Structure 1
């Protein structure tokens, strides 16, 4: 069944040259993201504490509900929480911007010239349910009589008219325009922007790449900000954004972009070291060697990269608790030695080397104290 939409005026689109611009930007990001080993590491470096992942952004009105559960009921709730955590941390796909949809002219009827107003197009859509959003037949009749296939932006609008997705707007919200986007970035609303981007755009939309990359670049600029506790009242712009993004589904794509496109794994190492997440620290070092094989650090570690502790488990098993990582003191000491190589060999600014060395010394001192305590006990 075909339906003709009410004639509508062509909408103004954001950045018409996005497709051409972002198709040339790091075309191998998609190939890296779908690599099983890299994808698994990206998932592992995401902070998976359930209390933090499910922490509410806003308080609900009313009192909390408290229930008494049996051991069997409690086990069911724990399993449900684990599955829900895995779903909530599922990373949005990293795809190359889509190529232009073939909008060649199907037919031309010169007799229609002058009948259809110049600022109006007629759109005919196959609304049957047997086709998905990408393969649905959508054609446009121009005012000059040309009948052509709809382009990608027209397809998005028409699909949203007949098959609306929850939260997605028919027109691109103003918050994604440059001026408003810059204001949100200045406010530090990185998670809000990324979540809204996932709702509004398909992962292969050039706007999706543009907005996510803008957020990643701003996060990278602020990623060396001193860490403060999330419970401390601080201004958003003064809070290290990695502290808020490390337990979200966006952390993996962020890390991929920072390492590959920006050549900046230092902030990721800084965050893991500052919070003494040694397992995540080891996986970040391995990920750096894989994603930047020509870097000085990766070349130095080429023959011994598999020795970097801890071992790499399956991400799903790690989240569900089937594979637990308990690093021994000797493993942590070995890891910190590899970290010293990273600090020396990576092209970091002097002030950033000082920061990492300071946390490195604190970690080494803490391990030494723990060993002495265990020895006497």
Structure 2
């Protein structure tokens, strides 16, 4: 049996117990099955459908992959990166009078800050949820109805290597799982907007309500602040948000944010890029569509369908469609853009212009004393709620009191000179 004094000494001398073991277990199982692989969404032709060994973290940190993800993210500085946000401290807008040269320097500096803000969130495999049994003391079984958690809170212990052990009701002493370990960190080392228990926003129905309002970025930003990148709950929440984003087709909510690169990597890893590829085609983003194809082929290399460096963006996309004819039905916007060059905005503007012309030519109506009081007149549906009275003026009164225009007129008649010039 371990006493309280020996247990405290044990926590100090065995710092990182359970954390390092779980990490080693995770790195071993990472090569077999990755938590970021969604077999239900994976394409049938990708090697993920079989027992394919893959190191997701190594692929994510590859230089070529990071370059493609950075180019795919986009940079909408005014509408997304530097848009007004809800903060605890209110800040005033700053206006400055600059020369053209100074303005270019400022814009270059802002682009550098935007690239830093748009760096993808680290993608890591979750820690193993297995725990290690340290001892079983049956003599103290059923001593209490609750579990006891012992935490190393010495000043030099970090959140990653802090030792946390749990005494079960049956007397078993074991290491803490990731949820218990992180919860104890939040208990003893409190941070703003990071409560002890997970907020309700990370679960339904509040999660779905937030996604319906296009608050994907807010949910993911809070999740990055609340969880660690290797927390199993964070990986599960990220996959849920990404899957629902694809199902609803709301890529605008995450485009030009630090989470869009992770979303693109998740889709390319599982061979599910057609929805995002179609979204790029509908907005005329052909270079981004070509980079997405290159990303998937970089994650799943195949010499038969390799991309040449000399190929243009259009050729890369057309070759992908030719190699995957079964996916052409899922890419109507991309196919339409390649054939006609029209985007979704162009189609909407043409339809709006056609409807306006038809309304101006075919539906022309005149306002009369009869139509002004009906629903077809200028009042529309208001004519049913209010009574309209048309007042007709008497012609005789109009002749007696003619409407005068211009300046002042004398009430005396103008005298005419009947004398003729001699």
Shorter-chain TM range is 0.5 to 0.7
Label 1:273 to 1:24 Cα distance change in 2 as closer, same or farther (>3 A).
closer
Supply the distance in 2 between the matched residues of 1:364 and 1:179 (Cα, whole angstroms).
38
2:333 to 335, 341, 355: 355
CA separation of 1:155/1:338 partners in 2, compared to 1, >3 Å: closer, same or farther?
Answer: closer
Question: Who is 1:299 aligned against?
Answer: 304
| Residues 59-208 of structure 1 aligned to structure 2 (within 5 Å) | 64-69=93-98, 77-78=106-107, 80-100=109-129, 102-106=131-135, 108=137, 110=139, 112-115=140-143, 117-118=144-145, 120-208=146-234
Query: Partners in 2 of 1:245 and 1:207 — Cα distance?
Result: 20
Name the TM-score, length of structure 2 as normaliser.
0.61
The alpha carbon displacement at 1:65 in A equals: 3.6
Structure 1 CA distance, aligned partners of 2:160 and 2:277?
40
SS in 1 for 2:147: strand
SS at match of 1:68: coil
Please identify the structure whose Cα radius of gyration is greater: 2
Aligned to 1:38: 65
Distance 1:177 1:338 in 2: 40
RMSD over aligned CA atoms reads: 3.5
Higher relative contact order (CA 8 A, sep 6+): 1
Residue 335 of structure 1: CA displacement? 2.4
Q: 1:101 to 1:41 in 2, by over 3 A?
A: same
SS of the residue 1:45 aligns to: helix
Structure 1: gaps spanning 5 or more residues: 4-18, 224-240, 309-333, 366-377
**Alignment partner of 2:301: what SS?**
coil
What is the match of residue 293 of structure 2?
285
Cα deviation, 1:218-257, whole Å, max 9, x if unaligned, reads 222233xxxxxxxxxxxxxxxxx22231200111110111
Normalization by structure 1: what TM-score? 0.67
Tell me the distance in 1 between the aligned counterparts of 2:101 and 2:203: 51
Partner of 1:56: 84
Structure 2 unaligned segments of length 5 or more: list them: 10-25, 38-53, 344-422
Q: Show the counterpart of 1:267.
A: 275
Task: Give the Cα–Cα distance (whole angstroms) in 1 for the partners of residues 328 and 131 of structure 2.
Answer: 51
Residues 343 and 353 in structure 1, CA contact (< 8 A), matched pair in contact too = no
Tell me how far 1:33 sits from its aligned partner: 0.9
Shift of residue 279 of structure 1? Answer: 3.6
Distance 1:144 1:73, change over 3 A: farther
Q: Could you tell me whether the CA contact under 8 Å between 1:343 and 1:356 is conserved in 2?
A: no
Q: Which of 46, 56, 61 is equivalent to 1:29? A: 56
